[in-house]
């Protein structure tokens, strides 16, 4: 027995040291006893300190799962996941609810942009957010200068700007904003940080989630062929459900529902379902965008379901767009004719629009821009096998458009003002 006594003593000395850091967290609410997992109970007061402590210690101890248990968690400060790779989850969307404490963030551009303008900050790692509800109740202090705030911010962080790869996901998470303070609020941001020159690489996957009441529901600015998948989710009363800006991505947006009306804090602003934009000399010239089998319900006469625009930059043959199998309809009865087109495109060529169903009372169903002195043309598109059933609308190809092909037997009112091929 004496041969093994020194080893036993060393083991007893080392084992408490392994969990010494964990003891810094409040043991009444933060439990490190499970293998590979940290469990957190709500306190009914500000839980930010306990959650941040759990994240920090999980990184030190190599635990890859942080679980919020049943109840309501209150947060009055940002949670930094910098350096953490793993899962941050609740029990379900109904049983685990995270709420912000109102007026807890300055939200001004003069602060520390990396850690003080968001609820959850992800950098130098990858986080899988799962099975919880997040309710942001007026997070910004009233009177904040140029208020800007994000629920989930995934982007490089200064000064470690070169560590810019993330494989994060949002799965079965509800994100709701209730705001009265004017500002720009984003539910999920994946892309640039103003303090770093280069944008985010990797993947972003969003599945079976609900995003409601935001300026930007999902805002992506990823590069180098990053993969972005948005599937089976509901976007309700956002200015943009999904916004893709100056990105180089392989983006797949499939089987979602978009309910178009502005959020309460910006009731007069035109809502969009999906916006795809490139702007300036630095706009990436490679993009693959697939928009398929989504449903758009317009609840205001100014809804803009799909807006694709590469303005103020040169055209690129490396941009590929397909819009297939989507359904556009009024979301409320008796809605006045929509003054916006369901699908609006300028300065992007050679895309594919097929098998979509247009039921909405709209000014125009498909609009390819091309006006002298106003908008660069959209050319060489194929528009085939779509179903038109609306009282108004149609297909409009403006004066500078050329080489677009409109297939036969689609029953649309046709307005060809350019040099295109319309098959009867």
Residues 54 and 27: beta-carbon distance below 8 Å: no
User: What would the pLDDT profile of 224-279 be if each residue is shown by its tens digit?
Assistant: 999 999 999 999 999 999 999 999 999 999 999 999 999 988 988 999 999 999 98
- Domain extent listing, the chain: 29-422
DSSP characters for 277-340?
A: EEESTT--S-EEEEEES-EEEE-STT-EEEEEEEETS---TTEEEEEES-EEEESSTTPPPEEE
- Please report where in the chains the tokens 């590979």 appear, as a residue: 36
List all residues 6 or more positions away from 6 whose beta carbon is below 8 Å from its beta carbon: none
d(CA 381, CA 403): 7
pLDDT digits (tens, 9 = 90+) for 138-170: 999 887 656 789 999 999 999 999 999 999 999
CATH number of 29-422: 2.160.20
Q: Is the pTM of this model over 0.85?
A: yes
pLDDT tens for residues 42-84? Answer: 999 999 999 999 999 999 999 999 999 999 999 999 999 999 9
pLDDT at 1: 40
Whether residue 9 is predicted with pLDDT greater than 70 in this model: the reply is no
Q: Quick check: 21 pLDDT over 90?
A: no
């Amino acid at each position: 027995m004496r041969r093994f006594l020194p080893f036993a003593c060393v083991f007893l000395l080392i084992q408490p040291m392994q969990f010494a850091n964990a003891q810094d967290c409040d043991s009444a609410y933060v439990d490190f006893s499970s293998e590979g997992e940290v469990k957190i109970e709500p306190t009914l007061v500000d839980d930010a300190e306990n959650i941040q402590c759990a994240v920090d210690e999980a990184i030190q101890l190599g635990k890859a799962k942080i679980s919020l248990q049943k109840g309501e968690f209150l947060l009055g400060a940002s949670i930094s996941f910098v350096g953490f790779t793993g899962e941050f989850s609740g029990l379900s969307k109904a049983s685990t609810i995270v709420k912000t404490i109102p007026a807890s963030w300055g939200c001004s551009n003069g602060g520390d942009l990396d850690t003080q303008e968001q609820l959850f900050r992800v950098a130098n790692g990858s986080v899988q957010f799962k099975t919880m509800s997040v309710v942001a109740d007026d997070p910004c202090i009233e009177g904040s200068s140029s208020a800007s705030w994000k629920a989930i911010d995934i982007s490089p962080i200064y000064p470690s700007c070169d560590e810019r790869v993330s494989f994060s996901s949002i799965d079965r998470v509800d994100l709701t904003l209730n705001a009265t303070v004017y500002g720009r609020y984003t539910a999920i941001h994946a892309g640039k940080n103003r303090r770093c020159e280069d944008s985010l690489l990797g993947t972003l996957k969003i599945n079976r989630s609900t995003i409601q009441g935001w300026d930007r529901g999902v805002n992506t600015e990823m590069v180098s062929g990053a993969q972005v998948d948005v599937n089976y989710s509901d976007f309700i009363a956002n200015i943009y459900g999904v916004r893709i800006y100056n990105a180089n991505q392989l983006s797949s947006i499939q089987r979602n529902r978009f309910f178009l009306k502005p959020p309460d804090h910006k009731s007069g602003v035109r809502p969009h379902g999906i916006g795809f934009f490139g702007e300036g000399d630095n706009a990436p010239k490679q993009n693959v965008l697939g928009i398929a089998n989504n449903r758009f319900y317009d609840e205001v006469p100014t809804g803009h379901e799909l807006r694709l625009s590469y303005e103020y930059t040169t055209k690129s043959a490396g941009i590929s767009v397909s819009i297939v199998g989507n359904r556009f309809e009024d979301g409320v009865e008796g809605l006045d004719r929509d003054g916006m087109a369901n699908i609006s495109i300028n300065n992007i060529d050679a895309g594919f629009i097929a098998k979509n169903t247009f039921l909405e009372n709209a000014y125009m169903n498909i609009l390819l821009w091309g006006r002298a002195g106003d908008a660069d043309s959209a050319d060489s598109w194929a528009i085939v096998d779509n179903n038109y059933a609306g009282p108004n609308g149609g297909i409009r190809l403006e004066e500078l458009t050329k080489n677009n092909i409109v297939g036969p037997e689609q029953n649309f009112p046709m307005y060809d003002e350019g040099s295109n091929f319309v098959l009867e």
